[in-house]
Amino acid sequence: MEKHSPYATVMTLPLHSTQLEGGFWSTQVQRAHTVIIANIYRLFASDEISHCLANFRIAAGLQEGTHQGPPFGDGDFYKWLEAASYTWAVTGDEELKGMIDSAIELIGQVQHEDGYIFTQYSIRLKEGREASRLGDSLNFEAYNLGHLITASIVHARSTHETTLLELGIKAALCLNTLFEEAERTKSGKTAICPSHYMALVELWRHTGDPTHLKTAELAIRLRDSVVGGTDDNQDRLTLAEHDEILGHAVRATYLYSGVADLYAELGKPEHLLMLQRVWQSEEYTKMYINSGVGALYDGVSPAGFAGDHPALSRTHQSFGRPYQLPNLTAYNETCATIGNIFFNWRLFLINGNAAHIDRIEQSFYNLILASTSRDGLRYFYSNPLAREEEPLPFYLKWERTRSEYLSSFCCPPNMVRALVEVSEYTWALRDDEILVGMYAQGTTTIHIGEHRVVLEQQTEYPWDGTVRIIVTECDGSPFTLSVRVPSWLKSGTLSYGPEELTLTEADANTYIPITRSWKVGDELVLSMDMEARLVLAHPMVENSSHQVAVMRGPLLYCSEQVDHPKTDWASLGVRSNPIFRTVWRTIAEESLLCLETNDGADLSPLDWDNHTLYQEAESLEARPQTLHLIPYFAWDNRGLGGMKIFHPLYLSPV
């Protein structure tokens, strides 16, 4: 944040304060730099594949044609522009800078004098067709403008140029005009996937112009005036009445992220209480073990019931009832988890709770990375927890394997902007207290008042549980270095100088503060025992009853059918108290730490066909098997085969 938010207890560091150097995350970000960003631009630039850039050229009068593709395509390109701008500041890639500058010039040619920009609108006008502004919530206009504003801020902070920022400010002022008119005419609508709430508050922090904060407050106030709202859009009730997270998962997480931003600036108690309620609803009853959110492809809002028709509404890409977490049909849109990262980060800034960083870290490892293939060229939209090798006997919208291009291409550019900015979640500041966020090898520069501190983090995490923090620059002034202990820790130590603290489960999801007059060369070493562990789902999660998942450190593991060709795949599971061994394996040319155990088991196979729904189990016999597990983020890189995270638990000896 450029300005310190008065109701936030924790501050972010200025953009690019941390440089990743070696280690796990440096490798992932480098792939984004060299492959993913260029590939997404190639897709956007193709008239035949996405038509995204063509829409801008047609709207600008540089090309003939009509609008093609989804209305939110503009916003998807702005996400790419944000990722590219951030990446240029890290790499200095001049070819990338040329693409950025050309994109800004093109956007400027499309934007109207009053700041409004929506390629579909401009093209309709050119064709002599009717077009209105904010006339249809499903047109994603505010979503697009929000992403333009956010990209303009990141571009300004990364390049120290104002070319895109000027366009972003014009867009924000246009939103202010449109929202003021909606309030005067009592015609407020819900803006779906409201990225503009976060964008407007951040623009206020960047520019200091209170107009943008007032616009954000007005936008959120307008949604409470909607008549005939639905749970799908979270507008059936006023914000103060929200006590359960419902409806479309991207719309929900973006909404609550924006309200959290507004709370950090204005401090309305009813907003904070509401945010705490919906976070608890999500975290404790609607969160997948891979940190995915939004379980359902389609359904009916759980707020309604038979005989209560006014409260019933169709939902899609949505949260279901508490504990309704199917594995094979899990939706888990990538964008929803990105929204949840935003939500948890903002709550962390408000309350400093280590649990929010824990959720962010596991989201990056177990869903953001899983949404793209290891070569960076194919992408998931939904992120299931199981897959069958044979075609399913029912229809699901998305392919069962990653695709080179998605008809709804919102997730890949969202994923890559989150991925290249992962270092922004590694450190934070609370007065004279430096807080460790995600563990990642690299160097960070932090200013505590007039004092400059440079810290180096050395670690092989997530493969190894040792994190070494070295003070490489300071002036001897005292400060507090608070080390985060993750939720999964069972035992470990925290040492600094001759002192050593023993860590136990009681320390999990907390910060351990160490205050002293630090000097150059001082080291703080966090050592965490990192054993594979079995994880049970709540008994109300019916789809995972009597099954276990395997985790090691922050990583979720899965099995793939390709590694178990001679087993009965449906019954392949694990004995209680298994002994795991770690093995390094190469998957898609990447060396990964995997798990194996001889305590796997399956059942003598049964013959199932389309005419058999149930059959007797008298002849079943449990058989020992070797169970091979890989990091979940590396699945679907070896062909279209079965995958599962939850495995049957065999309690009796095999």
Residues 63, 183: contact at Cβ < 8 Å?
no
**Dihedrals phi, psi of 468, to nearest 5 degrees:** -110, 125
pTM above 0.95, yes or no: yes
pLDDT tier at 308, thresholds 50, 70, 90 = low
Higher pLDDT, 608 or 452: 452
Neighbouring CB atoms inside 10 A of 306's CB total: 6
Query: Could you report the per-residue pLDDT of 501-532, keeping only the tens digit for each?
Result: 999 999 999 999 999 999 999 999 999 999 99
pLDDT digits (tens, 9 = 90+) for 120-161: 999 999 999 988 898 887 789 999 999 999 999 999 999 999
* Strand ranges (E), 474-604: 478-485, 491-496, 499-504, 510-517, 523-528, 532-536, 547-552, 555-560, 573-575, 580-587, 590-603
Which tokens sit at 509? 């999801």
Q: Give dist(CA 253, CA 281) in Å, integer.
A: 12
Distance of alpha carbon 135 from alpha carbon 126, whole angstroms: 18
Who has greater pLDDT, 315 or 426? Answer: 426
Q: Cβ of 291: how many Cβ atoms within 10 Å?
A: 26
Digit-coded pLDDT (tens) for 539-568: 999 999 999 999 999 999 999 999 999 999
Would you say residue 625 has pLDDT above 90?
yes
In 339-367, which positions are buried (b, 16+ CB within 10 angstroms) versus exposed (e)?
A: bbbbbbbbbbbbebbbbbbbbbbbbbbbb
Higher-pLDDT residue of 468 and 618 is: 468
Domain ranges of the chain: 228-367, 433-528, 532-650
With pLDDT > 90 as the criterion, what percentage of the chain qualifies? Answer: 87
pLDDT at residue 377 is higher than 70: yes
Task: For residue 432, count CB atoms less than 10 angstroms from its CB and return exposed for 0-12, middle for 13-18, buried for 19 or more.
Answer: middle
* Per-residue model confidence (pLDDT) at position 310: 67
Q: Is the pLDDT of residue 1 over 50?
A: no
Model pLDDT for residues 152-204, shown as the tens digit of each residue: 999 999 999 999 999 999 999 999 999 999 999 988 888 889 999 999 999 99
Query: What digits encode the pLDDT tens for the residues 602-614?
Result: 998 788 887 889 9
**Residue 470 and residue 456: Cα distance in Å, rounded?**
5
- Out of 1.20.120, 3.40.225, 2.60.40, 2.30.30, select the CATH number for domain 433-528: 2.60.40
User: How many Cα atoms within 13 Å fall on the side-chain side of residue 617?
Assistant: 6
Average pLDDT over residues 89-117: 98
Q: What's the chain's average pLDDT?
A: 95
Question: Burial level of 464, CB count in 10 A (0-12/13-18/19+)?
Answer: middle
Q: What is the pLDDT of residues 3-59, one digit of tens each?
A: 689 999 999 999 999 999 999 999 999 999 999 999 999 999 999 999 999 999 999
Number of H helices, E strands in the chain: 15, 24
Q: Report residue 342 as tokens.
A: 């935003």
Q: What is the pLDDT of residue 160?
A: 98
CA 147 to chain centre: 16
Distance CA(368)–CA(419), nearest Å, equals 8
Residues whose CB falls within 8 Å of the CB of residue 162, separated by 6 or more in sequence, listed in order: 156
pLDDT of residue 7: 98
530 three-class SS: coil
| pLDDT > 70? residue 471 | yes
- Rounded Cα–Cα distance for residues 651 and 654 (Å): 9
- Among 138, 105, 141, 101, residue whose Cα is nearest residue 121: 141
What is the pLDDT at residue 137?
A: 75
